[in-house]
Amino acid sequence: MNSPSFHHLFIFTVVFFLRCLNLTTAATCHPNDESGLLAFKSVITEDPSGILNTWKKGTDCCSWDGVSCSNGNRVVVLTIRIEPHDADIFLSGTISPSLAKLQHLEGVVFINLKNITGPFPSFLFRLPHLKYVYLENSRLSGPLPANIGALNRLDTLTVKGNRFSGSIPSSISNLTRLNYLNLGGNLLSGTIPLGITNLKLLSNLNLDDNRLSGTIPDIFKSMTKLRILTLSHNGFSGKLPPSIASLAPALAFLELSQNNLSGSIPSYLSRFTSLDTLDLSKNHFSGTVPKSLAKLTKIANINLSHNLLTDPFPVLNVKNYILSLDLSYNNFHMEKIPEWVTSASLLSSLKLAKCGIKMSLDEWKTRQTDLYDSIDLSDNEISGSPVRFLKEEVQLREFQMSGNKLRFDLRKLSFSKTLETLDLSTNLVFGKVSASVAGLKTLNLSQNHLCGKLPATKFPESVFAGNDCLCGSPLSHCKG
Ligand SMILES: *[C@@H]1O[C@H](CO)[C@@H](O)[C@H](O)[C@H]1NC(C)=O
Ligand SMILES: *[C@@H]1O[C@H](CO)[C@@H](O)[C@H](O)[C@H]1NC(C)=O
Ligand SMILES: *[C@@H]1O[C@H](CO)[C@@H](O)[C@H](O)[C@H]1NC(C)=O
Ligand SMILES: *[C@@H]1O[C@H](CO)[C@@H](O)[C@H](O)[C@H]1NC(C)=O
Ligand SMILES: *[C@@H]1O[C@H](CO)[C@@H](O)[C@H](O)[C@H]1NC(C)=O
């Protein structure tokens, strides 16, 4: 789950504002700033899309792409931001220490440069006015500097998506003005330093996708402004620390998935009235889910999948808010899809795999309101036919029904062009496979009672295996 970043918006507003100022002043940039920027450009070894083409000696550096000045001629913000998905746009090389010449720099924003290597840039320590640093998604590596706490005027520090390793320096406790700290997507190990508790102004703490371990320390009592806490995809173990309770009511995103956390889901979560996203998936949480969660009426995303939670699951009060719900692979025996779920008007992603559901799909009344995007009801005992459901749900992208008791004639199935994934494996489906499946990205029809000649598709043998009498490529030739 990507957390919204109001910080980005903030930067662009500032940059835009500064650009406007710049238009009204005719001065050219300071020679130190020009030479610092040209030195930066000189160690960029590849710039295939010409991001730095406007950076030319003798022209006003305040007019160069990504450069913003104030006070007439001093560079205050350097912003190079590349689209994440365009593989042909990147910069290779290192970050020149000459950027220290830009003595008025307040913000350094390097996002998705992708192929910049080298250590944590030490020029940052020589900039007396620095307030925000974005070094996201590149190939910076080595340890975070032990004296990182010396950057104590920073409001924002994000180095997500690099290859920084080693432990989180304890001096981080000196970054007391930080609002936003993101060290996600690196190779950091060790425990969370207790001194993080000093960062009382934090509104967004993201350490996800690292190799951090130990228990989550009891550091949250003073963090009354925290809205986003993301510690997913690490090796944290033990119970949730009690001070998480003091994050109520401000906390909006609690994302702790893919760790080794255990214990029960605390009932104080019901006081998190601003909660938008609760992701505790892939841990060892056990016991029942507190009934009091019914008080969280505005929650949009709940993911409790892959834990050891037991019946009964409470009736939630989220009719007009919930967008995605995943309770798969716990120890639930729900019998039916609960009414509060089927009637939730905006629910678009529903995953209740292995939840002990025994209903017939024909009993499921689809909503008149919004349509589903993805459904996963694998490994239940659902009977009946999905024919009507798939005809009505014309925005469905993913339909996972593996390991149920669906019994219907596949020739009657039609689905919308939006469908990408169809998994009906290990059911009681009969009839023939029609050519309409050829356009899907993912298909699995194995372990059913299908028969007849297969249409031409790109799919391997395994997705048709274990049927009664299918034949033709990629299976064996049809006889006669
Ligand atoms: C990334 O940079 C290295 C040199 O630092 C270069 O050898 C490599 O080709 C670059 N990768 C891409 C995808 O351009
Ligand atoms: C924090 O800063 C103070 C003052 O600069 C310094 O004495 C102290 O050692 C720093 N703390 C850490 C943990 O580095
Ligand atoms: C998770 O915890 C269990 C014991 O509860 C332990 O055996 C296992 O190694 C831990 N896994 C990780 C990835 O830390
Ligand atoms: C819930 O979390 C699991 C594992 O962390 C993930 O695979 C799954 O896609 C998530 N479900 C939803 C609906 O996002
Ligand atoms: C198809 O489904 C079968 C049975 O559920 C499973 O064993 C197999 O791994 C699946 N194959 C693919 C390609 O997803």
Verify whether ligand 3 is closer than 6 Å to residue 235 (CB atom): yes
* Nearest alpha-carbon partner for 281 in 301, 264, 257: 257
Give tens-digit pLDDT for 419-448: 999 999 999 999 999 999 999 999 999 999
Residue range 156-170: mean pLDDT, rounded = 98
The ligand with the least distance to the CA atom of 306 is 4
Verify whether ligand 3 is closer than 6 Å to residue 238 (CB atom): no
Residues lining ligand 5, CB < 6 A?
Answer: 402, 425-426, 444, 446-447, 462-463
* Closest residue to atom 2 of ligand 3, CA basis: 260
Block residue for tokens 């320390």: 217
* Closest residue to atom 3 of ligand 2, CA basis: 174
The ligand with the least distance to the CA atom of 374 is 4
* Closest residue to atom 11 of ligand 1, CA basis: 115
- Give distance in angstroms: CA of 323 to centre of ligand 3: 32
- Give distance in angstroms: CA of 447 to centre of ligand 5: 9
Q: Is pLDDT of 22 > 70?
A: no
Q: What is the pLDDT of residue 86?
A: 86
Q: Is pLDDT of 9 > 90?
A: no
* Domains along the sequence of the chain with CATH: 352-480 (3.80.10.10)
Residues lining ligand 4, CB < 6 A?
Answer: 257-258, 281-282, 303, 305, 324, 326, 349, 351
* Closest residue to atom 11 of ligand 2, CA basis: 171
Q: Is pLDDT of 358 > 70?
A: yes
Give tens-digit pLDDT for 291-320: 999 999 889 999 999 999 999 999 999 888
Q: How far apart are the first and last CA of the chain?
A: 53
Q: What is the pLDDT of residue 376?
A: 98
- Give distance in angstroms: CA of 305 to centre of ligand 4: 7
* Nearest alpha-carbon partner for 425 in 433, 436, 416: 433
The ligand with the least distance to the CA atom of 211 is 3
Residue range 380-398: mean pLDDT, rounded = 94
The ligand with the least distance to the CA atom of 460 is 5
Verify whether ligand 3 is closer than 6 Å to residue 215 (CB atom): no
* Nearest alpha-carbon partner for 4 in 401, 277, 260: 277
Mutation choice for ligand 4 from 253, 279, 281, CB with most ligand atoms inside 8 A: 281
Q: Is pLDDT of 16 > 70?
A: no
Give tens-digit pLDDT for 90-126: 999 999 999 999 999 999 999 999 999 999 999 999 9
**CB of 430 within 8 A of CB of 449?**
yes
Instruction: Mean pLDDT check: name the lowest of 25-39, 243-257, 345-359.
Output: 25-39
- Give distance in angstroms: CA of 35 to centre of ligand 4: 49
* Beta-carbon count within 10 A of 173 CB: 15
* Closest residue to atom 14 of ligand 3, CA basis: 235
Residue range 263-267: mean pLDDT, rounded = 95
Position in ligand 1 atom list of the atom nearest CA 46 = 14
- Give distance in angstroms: CA of 444 to centre of ligand 5: 6
C-alpha to C-alpha distance for 467 and 469, rounded to whole angstroms:
6
Residue scoring higher pLDDT (19 or 246) = 246
Instruction: Quote the tokens at residue 447.
Output: 């372990």
Task: Report how far apart, in Å, the C-alpha atoms of 71 and of each of 22, 38, 109, 124, 159 are.
Answer: 9, 21, 20, 21, 29
Position in ligand 1 atom list of the atom nearest CA 87 = 13
> Residues near 208 by Cβ (< 8 Å), separated by ≥ 6?
184, 185, 230, 231, 232, 233, 234, 255
Q: Is pLDDT of 14 > 90?
A: no
Verify whether ligand 1 is closer than 6 Å to residue 71 (CB atom): no
- Give distance in angstroms: CA of 452 to centre of ligand 3: 48
**CB of 51 within 8 A of CB of 79?**
no
Residue range 250-263: mean pLDDT, rounded = 97
Q: Which residues share a beta bridge with 133?
A: 108, 157
DSSP string, 416-441: -TT--EEE--SS--EE---GGGGG-S
Four-residue CA torsion sign, 326, 332, 334, 339: negative
Q: What is the pLDDT of residue 4?
A: 40
Q: What is the pLDDT of residue 28?
A: 84
* Closest residue to atom 12 of ligand 4, CA basis: 326
Q: What is the pLDDT of residue 480?
A: 64
Q: What is the pLDDT of residue 369?
A: 67
Q: Could you tell me the pLDDT band of residue 479, with boundaries at 50, 70 and 90? A: confident
Q: Which residues share a beta bridge with 44?
A: 93
**CB of 346 within 8 A of CB of 326?**
no
C-alpha to C-alpha distance for 280 and 302, rounded to whole angstroms:
8
Q: Could you tell me the pLDDT band of residue 13, with boundaries at 50, 70 and 90? A: very low
